[in-house]
């Protein structure tokens, strides 16, 4: 069985290694990916189109805004699906776990977490808000923010974290993030442009068309950050307790 499974693996690996000969060399500036007109256009005219210094953010939230929006929806759907799969389990099979121990949260751990959690959350806001000019953005900031809640859940217990950010609130915040994203897209549509054509927001923002795209990108990233924060914590809370939402690790 194991030996038979090696055959397709070796075959695929061999073919890919053969194909590697035709791939561009390491760091080749003339490689198809680097010399393609799309990437040259993104590098060359991001500054003119959007005035955003970080091209990755500009491509993510503006040029490929549709992709990112539905990616956020995918994250949201994953959170809902995990709730749906594990949600009913808690009531049916309560108090099934045998290896659970009742223990006070450790003093050193909780006090360290007490000190470090606000710093993590401020850093998350920095990563989120500074995503235009430095590496960062909605997904990264959202994950850091979600990690701060997971840290609370790890160092105290899950109830403490859920008292601050309950699952219902998680879902509301996650849905709110998508509403922010889609709302900005719809708003630009109602203002005369196309869906997610942020430049049309200039008529309600006191800035130029380019800066309207710049600021709309921040709004979109905030929506993404909301969704990712909530879903990351909801995933942790559900998966660590098999849907019972108490006890935890």
Query: CB of residue 48 vs another protein: minimum separation in angstroms?
Result: 5
Beta carbon nearer to another protein, 67 or 106: 67
> What whole-number distance in Å separates Cα of residue 174 and Cα of residue 230?
5
Smallest distance, Å, CB 108 to another protein? Answer: 30
- For another protein, which is the closer residue by CB, 92 or 103? 92
Query: Contact 151/238 with Cβ under 8 angstroms?
Result: no
Closest distance between another protein and the C-beta of residue 106, in Å? Answer: 27
H/E stretch holding 112 reads helix 107-129
Residue 28, both tokens: 């080749």
Could you give the C-alpha distances from 43 to 34, 37, 213, 215, in angstroms and in order? 10, 10, 17, 20
Q: Which is nearer to another protein, 33 or 107 (CB)?
A: 33
**Integer Cα distance of 67 and 28 in angstroms:** 28
Smaller CB distance to another protein: residue 77 or 163?
A: 77
- Residue 139 Cβ vs another protein, minimum distance, rounded to whole Å: 5
Burial readout 191-216 (b: 16 or more C-beta within 10 A, e: otherwise): bebeebbbbbbbeeeeeebbbbbbbb
Kindly state the smallest distance separating residue 29's Cβ from another protein, in Å. 5
Rank residues 40 and 111 by Cβ distance to another protein and give the closer one: 40
């Amino acid at each position: 069985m194991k030996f038979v499974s090696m055959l397709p693996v070796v075959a695929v690996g061999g073919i890919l290694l053969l194909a590697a000969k035709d791939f561009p060399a390491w760091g080749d500036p003339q490689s198809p990916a680097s010399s393609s007109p799309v990437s040259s256009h993104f590098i060359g005219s991001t500054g003119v189109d959007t005035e955003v210094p970080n091209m990755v953010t500009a491509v993510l939230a503006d040029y490929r805004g549709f992709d990112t929006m539905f990616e956020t929806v995918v994250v949201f759907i994953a959170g809902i699906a995990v709730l749906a799969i594990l949600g009913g389990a808690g009531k049916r099979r309560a108090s099934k776990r045998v290896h659970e121990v009742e223990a006070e949260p450790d003093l050193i751990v909780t006090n360290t977490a007490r000190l470090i959690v606000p710093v993590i959350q401020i850093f998350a806001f920095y990563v989120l808000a500074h995503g235009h000019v430095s590496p960062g953005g909605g997904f990264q900031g959202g994950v850091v923010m979600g990690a701060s809640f997971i840290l609370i859940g790890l160092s105290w217990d899950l109830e403490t974290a859920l008292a601050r950010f309950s699952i219902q609130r998680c879902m509301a915040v996650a849905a709110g993030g998508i509403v922010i994203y889609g709302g900005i897209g719809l708003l630009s549509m109602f203002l005369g442009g196309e869906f997610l054509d942020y430049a049309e927001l200039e008529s309600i923002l006191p800035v130029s068309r380019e800066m309207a795209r710049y600021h709309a990108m921040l709004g979109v990233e905030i929506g993404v950050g909301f969704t990712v924060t909530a879903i990351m914590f909801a995933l942790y809370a559900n998966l660590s307790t098999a849907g019972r939402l108490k006890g935890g690790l």
